[in-house]
Amino acid sequence: MGTLDHTYDLSSVLGGQLSAAHAWTIGLCAVFVLTTLVITIRARSTTKGAVDFYAGGRGFSSTQNGLALTGDYLSAASFLGIAGMISLQGYDGFLYSIGFLVAWLLVLPMAQLMRNTGRFTMADLPAFRMRRMRVRLACTVSTVTVCVFYLVAQMVGAGALVAVLLGLHDGGTFLGMSAGQTRTGAIVLVGVLMIVYVMYGGMKAATWLQIIKAVVLLSATGLLTVMVLALFSFDPRALLSGAAEASGHGQAFLEPGLGFGVEVPGERAQTFFNKMDLISLGLALVLGTVALPHILIRFYTVPDGRSARSSVNRTIVMVGAFYLMTLAMGFGAAALVGSERIMALDPSGNSAVPMLAEELGRLTAGPVGAAVLLALISAVALATILAVIASLTLASSSSIAHDLFGHILMWGRPRESQEVSVARFSACLIGGISIVLAVQAQEQNVAFLVGLAFAIAAAANLPVIVLTMFWRRFNTNGVEWGIYGGLSATLLLMLFSPVMSGKTDPVTGENLSMLPAWIDIQYFPMENPALVAVPLGFACAIIGSLLSSEHNNARYTELRVRSLTGWGAERD
């Protein structure tokens, strides 16, 4: 089945059905926000101390935590980005899904070990063996850096999504506000909401927010998948053939090479680096997941290590099902909407899912169905962004309060009330900084920030986690060298990469980098630095340890026993 013959424009909903689409979208978003605010108020009444604020009282079941982990992990990049990439790049777009899913096979063996050895933050793991103040400072720097990069990308995405959904991408206005003003307003509103969730509800509110978001997201994705497959008589071959035909690439749409590892005729070096860039991206996605701060703290919300492992098992099933459904959505968008019309609205493809929803609604129930289904998917997308940034804010504020304030400034002897108060203030501070940065960056293509956050986590955090758990010789010096070395290498390589400067469209000559065209500091040929930065992070951690005479054999043995058996693990 090929592309339908009628003329499509997302503004068909935001034009003739303008008021209906707006009313449904705003109404559904309001229902979600009000529901989560009620949950936040209830969570506030039961959040008494540090364990409640940081770890939700450790009272969540493995099923609840599995849903929350799913909600944490499935950001707007997954819901909108991957389906959009599949709709434009076919087979290559699905490679992102593979990387995101395979990553959980590494998380599975680590979940139980980390739950048994940590308490609230990533720094608790190395601090069990090392000189605590230096270790906690380094871990706080890394945690906040990763979270802020991720936060800014999500918040800019929220602003852009609102502009597209309200039909402001082509110069329209909403309530008298221009597209830029509306994006700024959306960023500020989302930022204020995330501050409220974290300040007043802590981990309990964040967890229930993620659970609701995961159920709604999986349900909406399942609905779109069934509707797409029904149009093709539940025959995947017909869906793939229709997508290939409508894409304009033919059979090549179903084969590798359209987006990643592109072969450049006569440019052997460029072809090589294109292929290495694909490997580097996969490395960042696979290795970064296990070291993302907002994923790590989720293991501490369950009673014990066995529950942590069970929750990851459930997450793998739900995340796997979701990424299979992105295939149907991505190829469905290509077949029913067409790659040309998706690119005309948004070259990155992020509008593919909303456009698919509008198309499916129109085919099913006419203009009213189009308005309702588009509004539903819009509300789910905004809920997805809101839930993820709340968890990121909680992870960064927890690290500042627990590690920086509690163990460095207060020498490990703070009152719980003091620490929780600092955590709430830190959430406000991180939220405010993220709002300012997101407003300043809203005109930039910040999609690379998500990949950069994964790369930093893989290069700076992962070496510390792995070597703390499995290398007796690892010490405080190694932690500092590993985190600062991996973090610096990632940021420097990104600064000198084509993402920042020197990248142009080979056909039009248009500047595709973040910096102005007259600046060219491109010395590193790959867009994702993980392939180089991760080995450098491990090398720095190992060399730093070997250069120090510090030994902690007794603490290492105790850590190994505790990680494997749960003996002495925090249970309060």
Q: Is the pLDDT of residue 55 over 90?
A: no
C-alpha–C-alpha distance, residues 229 and 486, integer Å = 45
- Collapsing DSSP states into helix, strand and coil, what is residue 445? coil
Q: Is the pLDDT of residue 288 over 70?
A: yes
Task: Provide the token pair at 76.
Answer: 């707007």
Cα→Cα distances 35→39, 42, 213, 250, Å: 6, 11, 11, 46
Q: Is the pLDDT of residue 502 over 50?
A: yes
CA 119 to chain centre: 23
Mean pLDDT comparison of 159-168, 268-277, 481-490, 513-522, highest-scoring range: 481-490
Cα→Cα distances 138→142, 145, 396, 460, Å: 6, 11, 13, 10
- Name the band, by pLDDT with cuts 50, 70 and 90, for residue 147: very high
Mean pLDDT lowest among 144-158, 257-271, 321-335: 257-271
- Name the band, by pLDDT with cuts 50, 70 and 90, for residue 4: very low
| Better-scored residue on pLDDT, 463 or 103 | 463
pLDDT of residue 443: 67
Q: Is the pLDDT of residue 17 over 70?
A: no
Average model confidence (pLDDT) for the chain?
A: 84
* Mean pLDDT score, 230-246: 91
* Mean pLDDT score, 382-402: 89
pLDDT in tens, 61-88: 999 999 999 998 888 777 888 888 888 8
- Name the band, by pLDDT with cuts 50, 70 and 90, for residue 570: low
- Collapsing DSSP states into helix, strand and coil, what is residue 5? coil
Contact in structure between 301 and 283 (CB atoms under 8 Å): no
pLDDT of residue 230: 94
Q: Is the pLDDT of residue 556 over 70?
A: yes
Mean pLDDT lowest among 190-199, 391-400, 412-421: 412-421
Q: Is the pLDDT of residue 12 over 50?
A: no
Task: Give, for 396, the enclosing helix (H) or strand (E).
Answer: helix 352-398
Q: Answer whether 0.75 is exceeded by the pTM.
A: yes
Mean pLDDT comparison of 31-35, 348-352, 360-364, highest-scoring range: 360-364
| Better-scored residue on pLDDT, 342 or 448 | 342
pLDDT of residue 157: 78
pLDDT of residue 569: 64
pLDDT of residue 28: 82
* Contact residues for 168 (Cβ-Cβ < 8 A; gap 6+): 174, 178, 179, 182
Q: Is the pLDDT of residue 309 over 70?
A: yes
One-character DSSP codes across 12-58: HHHHTTHHHHHHHHHHHHHHHHHHHHHHHHHHHHH--SHHHHHHGGG
Mean pLDDT lowest among 89-98, 313-322, 405-414, 420-429: 89-98
Mean pLDDT lowest among 279-293, 353-367, 442-456: 442-456
* Mean pLDDT score, 555-560: 87
Q: What residue type is assigned to position 121 of the chain?
A: T
* Mean pLDDT score, 101-114: 86
Q: Is the pLDDT of residue 554 over 70?
A: yes
* Mean pLDDT score, 213-242: 93
Q: Is the pLDDT of residue 409 over 60?
A: yes
One-character DSSP codes across 324-366: HHHHHHHHHHHHHT-HHHHHHH-TTSTTHHHHHHHHHHHHHHH
Bridge partners (DSSP) of residue 174 are 177
* Mean pLDDT score, 429-445: 84
pLDDT of residue 130: 84
Mean pLDDT comparison of 318-327, 403-412, 414-423, 505-514, highest-scoring range: 318-327
* Mean pLDDT score, 359-370: 88
HEC secondary structure over 163-193: HHHCCCCCCCCECCECHHHHHHHHHHHHHHH
Q: Could you give the domains of the chain? A: 11-565 (1.20.1730.10)
pLDDT of residue 18: 46
| Better-scored residue on pLDDT, 264 or 30 | 30
pLDDT of residue 316: 94
Task: Provide the token pair at 185.
Answer: 């307003």
Mean pLDDT comparison of 143-147, 253-257, 266-270, highest-scoring range: 143-147
* Contact residues for 214 (Cβ-Cβ < 8 A; gap 6+): 67, 68, 70, 71, 74, 318
CA 373 to chain centre: 25
Q: Is the pLDDT of residue 347 over 80?
A: no
Mean pLDDT comparison of 166-175, 341-350, 473-482, highest-scoring range: 473-482
- Name the band, by pLDDT with cuts 50, 70 and 90, for residue 172: low
